[in-house]
Amino acid sequence: MRRVISTTTLKRLMPVLAMAALLALASACDTDTPQNTFDTKGPVAEKQAEIFYISMWPALAIMILVLGGIVLLCLRFRERDPSFVPKQTHGNTKLELAWTIAPAILLLAVGIPMVATIYDLGREPADDALRIDVVGQRYSWSFSYPDYPDADGNPLTISSLQGPAHIPVDREVAFHLQSIDVIHSFWVPKLGGKLDVIPGEENVLWLEASEAETFSGQCAEYCGLEHATMYLQLVAQPEDEFDAWVEEALAD
């Protein structure tokens, strides 16, 4: 009952799969799409991508080794004589210790930069950071700039339904996130990872754009019927252009 077809198919298919996987990931790194997490445009996203690479490359290597190993073992030790019963080995303590300790060390090793980055990104925003109060509500975002009040003393406020919010380039922006209904998640992938917007709490996320560009983001926590269209856009521009925008917006 030898299944020649399947073993050879297995042999062919596994490397193909592995290659396809690598190619897919590689192509993902290159494409210029609006919410590509590899196409980082700010220090926060950059550091997060670095941490991802630190774990992704060893993970891919281990994946290829394990999957390749499984295929090789199946080929090398496939049944040739149905009456043959191999030697009954029960285990090997040294091997067990090795494959317990080695991965633990490897994992703790990637854990060190991980913790460092958690603290790095978890710090308070810089003193000169621009504060924007973000309110999430089903299914839009409102952005208020408490530093820029209008004639009545109300902060400049813009809703994601009206148009993009603007931010300065090369300056930290502290988003103070609040929700007036359910949990949302504020996510602008090219600038950095997400932070949840929770009713009854205020979470603060700081991001910084290193290039003048229009960034897309959207709600990342399922929040109801139109969760899929709870979009937002941030226009990053040089400080003088940003100031001009503020003035114009206040005049409206």
Partner 1 sequence: MSSIAVPRKSPLAEALSNARHAAENRSSIWSWIGTVDHKRIGVLYGISAFIFFVLGGIEALLIRTQLIVPDSEFLNPDQFNRLFTMHGTTMVFLVVMPMSSAFFNLMIPLMIGARDVAFPRLNAFSYWTFLAGAIFLNASFFTGDILNGDLGAPDGGWFGYAPLNLEQYTPGHGMDFWMLGIQILGVASLAGGFNFIVTILNMRAPGMTLFRMPVFVWMTLVTSFLIIFAMPVIAVALFELTFDRLFDANFFNAEAGGNPLLWQHMFWLFGHPEVYILILPAFGIISDIIPTFSRKPLFGYPFVVFSGIAIGFMSWGVWVHHMYTTGLGTIANSAFGISTILIAVPTGVKIFNWMGTLWGGSIRLRAPMMFAIGTVAMFTIGGLSGVTHSMVPSDYQQQDSYYVVAHFHYVLFGGAIFALFGGIYYWFPKFVGRYMNEPLGQVHFWLTLIGFNLTFFPMHVSGLLGMPRRIYTYNSDMGWDLWNLMSSLGAFIIAISVLIFIINFLFSLRRGKEAGADPWDGRTLEWSIPSPPPEYNFREIPTVHARDEFWHQKYKEDETGAVTPVLAGGSGEDEHHEESAHALGIHMPSPSYMPLIVSLGFPFIATGLIYDYALIPVGAALIVIGLYGWAMEPATEEE
Q: How far is it, in rounded angstroms, from Cα 148 to Cα 223?
A: 30
| 238 near partner 1, judged by CB under 8 A | no
Residues 217/186, Cβ–Cβ less than 8 Å: yes
Q: How far is it, in rounded angstroms, from Cα 170 to Cα 179?
A: 27
Residue whose CB is less far from partner 1, 75 or 244: 75
Q: Of 53-92, which residues contact partner 1 (CB under 8 A)?
A: 54-56, 59-60, 62-63, 66-67, 69-70, 73-74, 77-82, 84-92
Reported as half-sphere exposure (CB side, CA atoms, 13 A), residue 248 has a value of 8
Kindly state the smallest distance separating residue 239's Cβ from partner 1, in Å.
27
| 104 near partner 1, judged by CB under 8 A | yes
Q: Of 109-148, which residues contact partner 1 (CB under 8 A)?
A: 110-111, 114-115, 117-119, 121-122, 138
Q: How far is it, in rounded angstroms, from Cα 1 to Cα 25?
A: 39
Q: Of these, 129, 174, 198, 212, which contacts partner 1 (CB under 8 A)?
A: 198
User: Can you give the length of the chain in residues?
Assistant: 252
Kindly state the smallest distance separating residue 149's Cβ from partner 1, in Å.
28
Residue whose CB is less far from partner 1, 110 or 244: 110
Residues 42/209, Cβ–Cβ less than 8 Å: yes
Q: Of these, 229, 238, 244, 247, which contacts partner 1 (CB under 8 A)?
A: 229
Task: Point out which span in 126-134, 145-153, 165-173, 224-232 binds partner 1 (CB under 8 A).
Answer: 224-232
Q: Which residues contact 46 (CB under 8 A, 6 or more apart)?
A: 40
Q: How far is it, in rounded angstroms, from Cα 110 to Cα 51?
A: 8
| 214 near partner 1, judged by CB under 8 A | no
